């Protein structure tokens, strides 16, 4: 069921209030009018009775001396006619016993009130109105006491008409007030209702989750304050929800990252155990064979070489795993210093010279001077690893070029080879731990797939970057950018 709207309620309230006021005022006015009329009537009748009493007493004392009752019976009719003619009203006289003594209109039917007469006979005034007629009974008091009773019958139609007119007038006033108050109430409340509707629309928008618009009520009253309050609330909810949303997506991202890390960790542990198993199986196999053929010198020789090789492999592997784990989890021993990159790269190339010469690989160096701010040991590890890979994955009689130049705020080291190269789509994956493009080739060359993962971590620790780029003459090309050392400025 639809409720009565606020504007109708308000208008009805104002109308009822004003009608109540008009009603009370009308009752007071009508009461006043009616009591005024009664007073006037009583005064008028008292005056008439007074003059009638004077006339009758005068007749009684100046005429033949008879008792009051006889006087009334003898003179009553003529006195009634005289007083009736003088007043223009019907006058009826009674003696002190209540017997009718005279009537100014003897032929008109008389409907007198015995009760009122009884009162008047006890020397009291009594009157009653019936329709537009007033019946007024008053004692006639002479010098010797009560002579009788005089009764006036008068028309009060004028007074009644006046009273009815006032009632009509007040009724019109009441209806007018009701209509005007409802109309004014509606006009006034329409404006208020429009403002309230605006506020309601604003709260509806908030409920639907639309925080884009203000309530937009520019007023300096309570509704204006309410509008400000709603706007402030809308902004606060919006900010909280945005913060909550951001928090939620942060949490989701953190959770996803955590799950990814967990997955990576599991994979890492699986790979480590797998890589550890292979050399251990070989060592165990040789141990078993030696147990069976103790005196076989060839086997002994073979076992010594292989066990030493696998032990080295185990050692390298463990070292790499531990270093990687330390880099990821703990603050590792990182001591940046001013490093002459040109000299460092020359040193690394020198160390590799023996191996490249042995394999017939030409090693070229094109090194410009550059000073960087980095951990020297880490740099050594990075470039030894890169050159090691360039040798491992090269072709017979291939070449390696190591270059260094300055680009902006960085020193760029490029390591290019003429080897087997890396397929473009795998260029990102080779930095994942244990990832190898070709397992057999990696195994043959003693690789475990951890080298580049470690190199990338170490480069990032130096605030640098490493990328694989296109090698024009085939093969692979790695570019490492490291921040240049900046002399502290003297102030």
Residues that bind ligand ADP (CB under 6 A): 389-390, 393, 417, 419-422, 430, 435-438, 442, 447-453, 476
Please give the residue whose beta carbon sits closest to ligand ADP in the complex: 447
Nearest CB to ligand ADP, comparing residues 31 and 423: 423
Nearest CB to ligand ADP, comparing residues 188 and 434: 434
Phi, psi (deg, nearest 5) at residue 466 = -135, 135
Nearest CB to ligand ADP, comparing residues 104 and 476: 476
Query: Whole-number minimum distance, CB 458 to ligand ADP, in Å?
Result: 12
Nearest CB to ligand ADP, comparing residues 453 and 480: 453
Between CA 377 and CA 383 the distance in angstroms is 10
Place of tokens 């009130």: 113
Contacts of 484 by beta carbon, 8 Å cutoff, 6+ apart = 370, 371, 372, 373, 406, 409, 410, 411
Tokens representing 411 are 């020193």
Query: Whole-number minimum distance, CB 368 to ligand ADP, in Å?
Result: 23
Phi, psi (deg, nearest 5) at residue 371 = -110, 125
Query: Whole-number minimum distance, CB 421 to ligand ADP, in Å?
Result: 6
Q: Are 103 and 92 in contact (CB under 8 A)?
A: yes
Nearest CB to ligand ADP, comparing residues 101 and 477: 477
Nearest CB to ligand ADP, comparing residues 450 and 458: 450
Between CA 338 and CA 135 the distance in angstroms is 135
Query: Whole-number minimum distance, CB 308 to ligand ADP, in Å?
Result: 19
Neighbours of 3 (CB within 10 A): 7
Between CA 110 and CA 102 the distance in angstroms is 12
Query: Whole-number minimum distance, CB 430 to ligand ADP, in Å?
Result: 4
Nearest CB to ligand ADP, comparing residues 150 and 442: 442
Q: How many CA atoms lie within 13 A of 106 on its CB side?
A: 10
- 3-class DSSP state of 484: strand
Between CA 381 and CA 467 the distance in angstroms is 17
Nearest CB to ligand ADP, comparing residues 95 and 432: 432
Query: Whole-number minimum distance, CB 380 to ligand ADP, in Å?
Result: 16
Contacts of 147 by beta carbon, 8 Å cutoff, 6+ apart = 56, 57, 60, 68, 71, 72, 95, 96, 140, 141
Q: Dihedral angle at the C-alpha atoms of 350, 352, 357, 359, nearest 10 degrees?
A: -170
The conformation of residue 485, written as its DSSP 8-state character, comes to: P
Tokens representing 192 are 């208020």
Tokens representing 79 are 């006195």
Place of tokens 């108050």: 181
Query: Whole-number minimum distance, CB 370 to ligand ADP, in Å?
Result: 23
- Quick one: which H or E segment has residue 145? strand 145-155
Nearest CB to ligand ADP, comparing residues 234 and 313: 313
Q: Are 89 and 102 in contact (CB under 8 A)?
A: no
Query: Whole-number minimum distance, CB 423 to ligand ADP, in Å?
Result: 9
Query: Whole-number minimum distance, CB 319 to ligand ADP, in Å?
Result: 13
Query: Whole-number minimum distance, CB 266 to ligand ADP, in Å?
Result: 20
């Amino acid at each position: 069921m639809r409720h009565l709207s606020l504007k109708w309620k308000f208008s009805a309230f104002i109308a009822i209030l004003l009608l109540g006021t008009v009603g009370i005022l009308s009752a007071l006015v009508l009461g006043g009018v009616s009591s005024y009329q009664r007073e006037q009537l009583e005064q008028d009748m008292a005056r008439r009775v007074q003059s009638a009493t004077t006339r009758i007493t005068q007749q009684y004392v100046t005429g033949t001396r008879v008792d009051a009752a006889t006087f009334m019976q003898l003179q009553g009719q003529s006195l009634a006619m005289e007083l009736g003619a003088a007043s223009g009203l019907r006058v009826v006289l009674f003696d002190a016993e209540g017997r009718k003594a005279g009537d100014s209109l003897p032929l008109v039917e008389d409907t007198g009130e015995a009760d009122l007469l009884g009162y008047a006979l006890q020397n009291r005034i009594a009157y009653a109105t019936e329709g537009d007629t007033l019946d007024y009974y008053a004692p006639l008091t002479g010098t010797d006491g009560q002579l009788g009773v005089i009764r006036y019958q008068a028309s009060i139609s004028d007074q009644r008409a006046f009273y009815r007119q006032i009632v009509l007038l007040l009724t019109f006033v009441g209806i007018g007030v009701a209509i005007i108050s409802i109309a004014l109430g509606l006009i006034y409340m329409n404006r208020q209702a429009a403002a309230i509707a605006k506020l309601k629309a604003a709260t509806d928008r908030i409920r639907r989750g639309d925080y884009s618009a203000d309530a937009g009520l520019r007023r300096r009253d309570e509704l204006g304050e309410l509008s400000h309050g709603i706007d402030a609330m809308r902004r606060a909810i919006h900010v909280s929800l945005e913060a909550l949303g951001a928090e939620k997506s942060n949490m989701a991202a953190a959770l996803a990252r955590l799950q990814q890390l967990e997955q990576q960790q599991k994979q890492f542990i699986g790979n480590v155990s797998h890589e550890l198993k292979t050399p251990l199986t070989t060592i165990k196999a040789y141990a078993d064979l030696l147990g069976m053929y103790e005196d076989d010198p060839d086997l002994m020789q073979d076992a010594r070489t292989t066990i030493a090789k696998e032990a080295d492999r185990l050692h390298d592997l463990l070292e790499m795993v531990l270093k990687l784990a330390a880099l990821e989890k703990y603050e590792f021993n990182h001591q940046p210093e001013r490093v002459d990159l040109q000299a460092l790269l020359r040193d690394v190339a020198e160390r590799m010279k023996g191996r490249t010469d042995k394999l017939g690989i030409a090693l070229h160096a094109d090194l410009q001077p550059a000073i960087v701010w980095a951990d020297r040991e880490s740099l050594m590890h990075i470039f030894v690893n890169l050159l090691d890979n360039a040798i491992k994955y090269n072709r017979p009689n291939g070449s390696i070029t190591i270059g260094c130049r300055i680009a902006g705020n960085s020193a760029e080291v490029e390591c290019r080879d003429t080897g087997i190269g890396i397929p473009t789509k795998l260029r990102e994956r080779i930095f994942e731990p244990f990832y190898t493009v070709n397992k057999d080739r990696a195994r043959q060359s003693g690789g475990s797939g951890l080298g580049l993962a470690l190199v990338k971590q170490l480069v990032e620790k130096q605030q640098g970057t490493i990328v694989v780029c296109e090698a024009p003459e085939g093969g692979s090309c790695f570019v490492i950018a490291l921040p240049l050392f900046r002399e502290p400025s003297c102030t």
